[in-house]
Structure 1
Amino acid sequence: MAINGPGPITLPPRDGLSPGPLSPPAPSTPGFGRSSNPLSSKVTTVLSNPYADSEFRESLTLLDERGIGNSAETRRQLRLDVQKDVIESNGEIIKEFGRVAEQLRRIGTTIDKLNQSYQEMKSHVTAAHDATSSTLEEASSLMTQKRNVETKQQLLKAFREHFVLSEDEIASLTSTVETVDDHFFLILAKAKRIRKDCEVLLGFENQTLGLEIMDQTSKNLNQAFQKLYRWIQKEFKTLNLENPQINSSIRRALRVLAERPSLFQSCLDFFAEAREQILSDSFYLALTGTSASGSKDHSVKPIELAAHDSLRYVGDMLAWAHSATVSEREALEVLFVSDGNEIAKGMQEGRENELWQFMADEGDGPPEFDAVKALNELVDRDVSGAARILRQRIEQVIQTNEETILAYKLANLLSFYRFTFSKLLGDEAVLLQSMINLESEALRQFRSLMRDHIATLQGEFQHTPSDLGPPDFLQNSLEKLTAIMQTYDTSLASEGDREADFQPILAEAFDPFLAGCENMARNIRAPSDSIFLINCLLAAKHTLTRFDFAAGRVARLQSTIDEHTARLAESQYGFFRTESSLSPLLDALAPLSDSNKEDVAKVAELDAAQPEALTHASQNLDDFLPSAVMDAMENVKHLQDAVLAREVTEEAADRFCSDFEHVEEMLIYADELVEQEGRRRAVDGQERPSLRALFPRTTGELRVLLS
């Protein structure tokens, strides 16, 4: 039956009533409510079911599927059909459950049979287990033993691989027929590891195995190091240090051999001896162009023939020694130090292994290995042969030299290379000690030649030049000193020590000549002695001023010049006083003060202030003033510094004018006082002559004439 929307629902007729649409129930009346109550309740129940209810919707859908029409017959049969369907469905279900029960009965029978079979099999298994239990236990024991044996085999194999060297490995490690290659070093490293790991075996109660393995491994290691030692010595004989690509195997072998300090040191000694001979022959070839065997090498230009003077000869030899030392150090640095600190580590390990040797020698633990110091020592040993030849040749040059400047230049050149070699090889190198000794010998020769030169000049120290200028020996010494100072200025002396280090040279090359000039000045009358010394000191100052490391000596020279300048100014001042005839008057008035009336009153009573004396002094002053400056400059005409001569004269003249001003003031005050007293004496008819009338010159006139 179809349902279309929520419209009115048509139900089949009931109790013979005609079907009709259902309408919502009308309000019940008292007479009809009781008779229509069942139907209304039914209708209400049906209508109260919401269409959204799933069961109600499914019921309606089921009715649609049956295709039931809305008729009276259908409505009467609907309940019966439904009940019939229910009964049939229940019957089908009962039938199916019967089949299930039948199957369950069959399953139960099968399970019973299975249980019976299981029990039979269990009894058979139990009997079989009882019969084979002993065999299984024996088999299990055998399997366990097999596993233990296999484990022991693996342990034994691992132990042999780790702690035992094979025959081939021992042969490669100890046989001299086998070469020293990477395989050798691998086996050597394995042997060292075995010996170290044997310390673990010695920790067990049974130490026999560990001791036997360690003993055998130590023997193999000793033979291996001996083999390595002999191989290195053989390689050293053909090693070319000039080749930048030095064999890496040699470097590796040296680093390994460092673990045996005694063998390593022996190798170094052998190497040093070989290199010393090679460098000595090379130096001899560079000097003479002839090898040690006597054969000529035309590709070499001999130093002995190329050097034209002694300084060039020594410089070329030192330059060769420096070049050879630098090349040797660079080559050995590649050979011994370039790959880190491996040799130092090997040496330290070897010293710890051979601790008993160092304790017997030094009574203390192994010293710290210094790779740089060891390298410097090895380079120094390599060049020691050439250094001996160098020292002999330079000593010969120093001893045969007779030139003072050349002796100092040689000393300065040796000082330069001493400083260079100290930076290159350290302060304990034998080559550096040779440079120090040669420098000292050159300085001794310089001082000896300088003293001999001074001794030959003793006669010249007695003759003073007529023009009071610097003597020839001083000028020559200053020329030599200039050359020496120019040489020293190019040296490597540090800034703080330059002046102090040069003082001994000044003491030898300058002070004796200046002292000779001072001795000569003692035999000369003043002011010529001061003029002579000032000329000498100015020449010396001019020479030393050009060099900053002589600033202290220049300051002392200037102080001495100022002292003699003051003496010269005092001499010029005395000349003005004496030649002007004012010295008596100046001396008489000097202790008197113009502010003291008693001192002013004494002026007229002084002998130098009497009319005759004043007239004579005034006349002499007038005669002196026109040529006073020229006469005074004539006194210092030999002073080679014209500016200084004028300054000295002007200072003396200014001082003379200051003294004259005091005289003028005292005479003026004395005249004023006499005039006052003269008015009182005018009653007696006495008159007093004016001092200024007798001595009319003024200070202004004097300054103009002396300017």
Structure 2
Amino acid sequence: MASNGAASLQLPPRDGLGSGVASPGTPSTPGLALRSSNPLTSKFTTVLSTSYADAEFRDALGLLDQRGIGNAAETRRQLRLDVQKEVIESNGEIITEFGRVAEQLRRIGHTIDKLNKNYREMKSHVSAAHSATSTTLEEASSLINQRRDVETKQQLLQAFQEHFVLTEDEVAALTLTSEPVDDRFFRALAKAKKILNDCEVLLGFENQTLGLDVMERTTKNLNQAFQKLYRWIQKEFKTLNLENPQINSSVRRALRVLAERPSLFQNCLDFFAEAREQILSDAFYLALTGTSAAGREDHSVKPIELVAHDLLRYVGDMLAWQHSAAVSEREALEVLFVSEGGDIVKGIEEGRENELWRLMSDDTDGDAPSFDPVKALNELVDRDVAGAARILRQRVEQVIQTNEDTILAYKMANLLNFYRVTFSKLLGAQSVLLESMTNLEAEALRQFRSLMRDHIATLQGEFQHTPSDLGPPDFLQDSLKQLTSIMKTYETSLSSSGDREADFEPILAESFDPFLSGCENMAKNIQAPSSSVFLINCLTAAKSALSPFDFTSRRIEQLQTTIDQHAESLRSRQYSYLRTESGLDRLFSALEPLPIAEAAVPKMRSLEELRPEALTAASQNLDDFLPSALMDAMENLRHLQDSKLARDVTEEAAEKFCVDFEHVEELLILADELAEQKSSPKKQDGEAQDAPSFRALFPRTTGEIRVLLS
């Protein structure tokens, strides 16, 4: 490219003959110009056709620019020479460097030759040594392999002994009674149980002798360990103090482990229950008498029998002691037998599955009932307090049978009901103590009913004599006081029934209904309205006694219905009295069927009661009756203790009387108006009226009657 550039930059010949450009003074002709312009045109075409965007061309121009080469004739001639010189010098330097590399390669080749020689010498020595020691190496390798096999077998044997064989110390800890039941015992026991479980792997091999031998030895040791644990727990139970909040943790742990042998565990529970029953019986006897079962007097205890004169307190103190003992026993046994993680439950379930009697049973397919720890705990507590409960039952039965007070009998039954509900929540529905409470409550209620019936039998004579003032008899007032005391007691009780009113109905039937029936029988022997007044007084007193209590609402409604019925009877009697004493009964009876219409007037004229002399007499009799009518009517109900009811009954009767009077008045006014209309033409003719008007003979108005009877 440099040569092309240099050629393109050559100047025309110095003589100017080869130039294709004509001088200014030279005349130009077309033929000469065409011939002289072809070489120059070719050069220019070459220059113009060169792509200046070509990278090599740009690099060549950049190189020329770096050298500072100017566009001169000398420079253009020298440029090629300089470039060739530089190329020659660069080639010489490269040849020199390659010469040095060749020298180094010769030295490396010489070194490699020496190494190959040494390698061949060493290889010959190694081959000779290997030939000499090959037999020894084979023997050593065989010994090493044998040693490795022996070490592996030794490790397996050691691991087997550690996992499947109990050490002498562990066997001694499990079986010897002289060794304590401590952490070492429980660790050995856990290992023995693990050995039994893992022996299933050994039984899976063809040769089962090893697994059977291990299982036989381990099972024997394990059985001896559980027997040792069983005897140790029985020994601990003899001196175990449940009142101590810090119960021995080793006993709890031992019980949870022994639960894996349900038969042994149940025997321990039986032994424990017998011991605790005796202890609690002695403690209850000490609390009752202040003297222990052995006869030693304890001055620190205040005997319950000191309050035996107060029967209710005496029974209450005994029941309170029994409840306190049951609660304390349950709390202590809950800590002792019911573990947080359910270990005893798991142990019993596992023991049931593994015991021989279950495995040999024909009913292996049936589902055995699952162990309920709460139920078992309740049963154990019930068994513990059974001895004290028997003493309690004997004492309470004696108190119930010797009691002759009706109220006290019911209070005692209510107290027993309270503790029956309490014990049912504490020990469940299936317990001996709860059964005792139920029987005692039933016995107390029977005594209450018996005393109540005896009391009613003694009052048969009083049922025949009605008080002169028609007030509630003394036996009813006494029975209501007694019933009020009973209802106050029942109000504070814990009724087991959801319907307290229905639950109290039998009590009302025994302590209330007989007296009310006696009052009703007494009322049959007296005349009305005294009988209704007497019964209303009795029923009102009964209603007042029952009203403060919410569990007698239905009975109060029944009493109110009966009171309303007798009040209606009194109302009818008062109304009849007003009609009779006022002298208007016949007049009311005669005019009552007649409507207030013109058609009724002719019939009125024919009535005997509307004749002038009869109507005048009735008016005079009414005038004589009205001034004291209300007071006389109230006097009829003077024995009715409910003054408001007496006033209401009289006012309602008077209102009914006024309504009847208003009907009569309207009929009389209608008759007078019709008569006046018929007599008007006669007055115009000068004729006189012969018959007087009804209103002239009977002038009283309804308004006057209402005022006088209000």
Task: Tell whether the structures are fold-level matches, with TM greater than 0.5.
Answer: yes
What's the CA shift for 1:336?
1.1
Q: Counterparts of 1:201 and 1:258 in 2: how far apart (Å)?
A: 27
Q: Counterparts of 1:108 and 1:496 in 2: how far apart (Å)?
A: 114
Q: Counterparts of 2:234 and 2:520 in 1: how far apart (Å)?
A: 71
Aligned to 2:291: 290
**Could you list the runs of 5+ residues in structure 2 that have no partner in the other structure?**
1-8, 19-59, 70-85
Q: Counterparts of 1:114 and 1:491 in 2: how far apart (Å)?
A: 117
Aligned to 2:494: 492
Secondary structure in 2 matching 1:612? helix
Of residues 177-186 and 349-358 in structure 1, the stretch that sits farther from structure 2 once superposed is 349-358
Q: Counterparts of 1:347 and 1:667 in 2: how far apart (Å)?
A: 103
What's the CA shift for 1:672?
2.8
What's the CA shift for 1:673?
3.1
Aligned to 2:45: none
Q: Counterparts of 2:233 and 2:600 in 1: how far apart (Å)?
A: 110
What's the CA shift for 1:376?
0.8
Aligned to 2:397: 395
CA RMSD of aligned residues (A): 3.3
User: Does the C-alpha gap of structure 1 residues 107 and 669 become closer, same or farther in structure 2, counting only changes over 3 Å?
Assistant: closer
Q: 2:695 aligns with which of 685, 692, 706?
A: 692
1:428 aligns with 2:433: no
Code of the residue aligned with 1:252 in structure 2: it is R
Q: Counterparts of 1:177 and 1:381 in 2: how far apart (Å)?
A: 33
What's the CA shift for 1:648?
0.8
Aligned to 2:244: 243
In the alignment, is the contact (CA less than 8 A) between 1:470 and 1:535 conserved in 2? yes
Aligned to 2:620: 619
1:121 aligns with 2:105: no
- Equivalent residues in 2 for 1:297-308 (5 A)? 297-308=298-309
1:702 aligns with 2:705: yes
What's the CA shift for 1:665?
1.0
Q: Counterparts of 1:320 and 1:454 in 2: how far apart (Å)?
A: 37
- Equivalent residues in 2 for 1:348-363 (5 A)? 348-354=349-355, 356-357=357-358
Aligned to 1:366: 368
What's the CA shift for 1:622?
1.1
What's the CA shift for 1:117?
2.1
Of residues 134-143 and 315-324 in structure 1, the stretch that sits farther from structure 2 once superposed is 134-143
In the alignment, is the contact (CA less than 8 A) between 1:467 and 1:638 conserved in 2? yes
Q: Counterparts of 1:672 and 1:568 in 2: how far apart (Å)?
A: 39
What's the CA shift for 1:409?
0.4
In the alignment, is the contact (CA less than 8 A) between 1:272 and 1:378 conserved in 2? yes
What's the CA shift for 1:620?
1.1
What's the CA shift for 1:52?
5.7
In the alignment, is the contact (CA less than 8 A) between 1:671 and 1:692 conserved in 2? yes
Q: Deviation string for 1:126-155 (max 9, x for gaps)?
A: xx43x6545544433332222222111111
In the alignment, is the contact (CA less than 8 A) between 1:352 and 1:366 conserved in 2? no
What's the CA shift for 1:600?
2.4
What's the CA shift for 1:401?
0.2
Q: 2:473 aligns with which of 466, 471, 474?
A: 471
TM-score, normalising length from structure 1?
0.85
What's the CA shift for 1:113?
3.9
- Equivalent residues in 2 for 1:404-443 (5 A)? 404-443=406-445
1:110 aligns with 2:94: no
User: Does the C-alpha gap of structure 1 residues 318 and 661 become closer, same or farther in structure 2, counting only changes over 3 Å?
Assistant: same
Aligned to 2:539: 537
Aligned to 2:450: 448
Q: Counterparts of 1:678 and 1:143 in 2: how far apart (Å)?
A: 164
Secondary structure in 1 matching 2:179? coil
Aligned to 1:313: 314
Code of the residue aligned with 2:449 in structure 1: it is R
Q: Counterparts of 1:511 and 1:362 in 2: how far apart (Å)?
A: 59
In the alignment, is the contact (CA less than 8 A) between 1:191 and 1:221 conserved in 2? yes
Q: Counterparts of 1:622 and 1:104 in 2: how far apart (Å)?
A: 170
- Equivalent residues in 2 for 1:124-273 (5 A)? 124-125=128-129, 128-129=130-131, 132-273=133-274
Q: Deviation string for 1:333-381 (max 9, x for gaps)?
A: 1111243311111111111112734985987333211111111111111
What's the CA shift for 1:483?
0.6
**Could you list the runs of 5+ residues in structure 1 that have no partner in the other structure?**
1-24, 35-45, 57-81
TM-score, normalising length from structure 2?
0.84
Q: Deviation string for 1:672-695 (max 9, x for gaps)?
A: 334455568999988333222222
User: Does the C-alpha gap of structure 1 residues 339 and 26 become closer, same or farther in structure 2, counting only changes over 3 Å?
Assistant: closer
Q: Counterparts of 2:664 and 2:197 in 1: how far apart (Å)?
A: 112
User: Does the C-alpha gap of structure 1 residues 582 and 50 become closer, same or farther in structure 2, counting only changes over 3 Å?
Assistant: same
User: Does the C-alpha gap of structure 1 residues 628 and 48 become closer, same or farther in structure 2, counting only changes over 3 Å?
Assistant: closer
User: Does the C-alpha gap of structure 1 residues 180 and 31 become closer, same or farther in structure 2, counting only changes over 3 Å?
Assistant: same
Code of the residue aligned with 2:698 in structure 1: it is F
Secondary structure in 2 matching 1:293? coil
What's the CA shift for 1:200?
1.8
In the alignment, is the contact (CA less than 8 A) between 1:657 and 1:703 conserved in 2? yes
In the alignment, is the contact (CA less than 8 A) between 2:421 and 2:496 conserved in 1? no
What's the CA shift for 1:611?
1.8
Aligned to 2:76: none
Code of the residue aligned with 2:709 in structure 1: it is L
User: Does the C-alpha gap of structure 1 residues 604 and 680 become closer, same or farther in structure 2, counting only changes over 3 Å?
Assistant: farther
User: Does the C-alpha gap of structure 1 residues 675 and 362 become closer, same or farther in structure 2, counting only changes over 3 Å?
Assistant: farther
Q: Counterparts of 1:190 and 1:410 in 2: how far apart (Å)?
A: 59
What's the CA shift for 1:642?
1.1
- Equivalent residues in 2 for 1:594-633 (5 A)? 594-595=596-597, 597-633=598-634
Q: How many residues align?
A: 645
Q: Counterparts of 2:386 and 2:362 in 1: how far apart (Å)?
A: 27
Secondary structure in 1 matching 2:460? coil
Q: Counterparts of 2:91 and 2:672 in 1: how far apart (Å)?
A: 184
User: Does the C-alpha gap of structure 1 residues 359 and 275 become closer, same or farther in structure 2, counting only changes over 3 Å?
Assistant: farther
User: Does the C-alpha gap of structure 1 residues 242 and 686 become closer, same or farther in structure 2, counting only changes over 3 Å?
Assistant: closer
Code of the residue aligned with 2:211 in structure 1: it is G
Q: Counterparts of 1:446 and 1:190 in 2: how far apart (Å)?
A: 66
Q: 1:523 aligns with which of 516, 525, 530?
A: 525
User: Does the C-alpha gap of structure 1 residues 481 and 358 become closer, same or farther in structure 2, counting only changes over 3 Å?
Assistant: farther
Aligned to 2:38: none
Q: Counterparts of 2:611 and 2:102 in 1: how far apart (Å)?
A: 188
In the alignment, is the contact (CA less than 8 A) between 1:358 and 1:366 conserved in 2? no
Code of the residue aligned with 1:605 in structure 2: it is S
Code of the residue aligned with 2:418 in structure 1: it is F
User: Does the C-alpha gap of structure 1 residues 359 and 443 become closer, same or farther in structure 2, counting only changes over 3 Å?
Assistant: farther
Q: 2:595 aligns with which of 569, 593, 596?
A: 593
User: Does the C-alpha gap of structure 1 residues 29 and 332 become closer, same or farther in structure 2, counting only changes over 3 Å?
Assistant: same
In the alignment, is the contact (CA less than 8 A) between 1:633 and 1:645 conserved in 2? yes
In the alignment, is the contact (CA less than 8 A) between 1:359 and 1:366 conserved in 2? no
In the alignment, is the contact (CA less than 8 A) between 1:359 and 1:365 conserved in 2? no
User: Does the C-alpha gap of structure 1 residues 415 and 215 become closer, same or farther in structure 2, counting only changes over 3 Å?
Assistant: same
In the alignment, is the contact (CA less than 8 A) between 2:353 and 2:359 conserved in 1? no
Code of the residue aligned with 2:700 in structure 1: it is R
Q: Deviation string for 1:191-232 (max 9, x for gaps)?
A: 111101111222222222222212221111111100000000
Q: Counterparts of 2:109 and 2:591 in 1: how far apart (Å)?
A: 174
Q: Counterparts of 1:668 and 1:350 in 2: how far apart (Å)?
A: 108
Q: Counterparts of 2:123 and 2:168 in 1: how far apart (Å)?
A: 67
Identity of aligned residues (%): 68
Q: Deviation string for 1:410-456 (max 9, x for gaps)?
A: 00111111111111111111111111110110001000000000000
In the alignment, is the contact (CA less than 8 A) between 2:273 and 2:383 conserved in 1? yes
Of residues 108-117 and 446-455 in structure 1, the stretch that sits farther from structure 2 once superposed is 108-117
Q: Counterparts of 1:689 and 1:668 in 2: how far apart (Å)?
A: 13
Secondary structure in 2 matching 1:196? helix
In the alignment, is the contact (CA less than 8 A) between 1:391 and 1:438 conserved in 2? yes
Secondary structure in 2 matching 1:234? helix
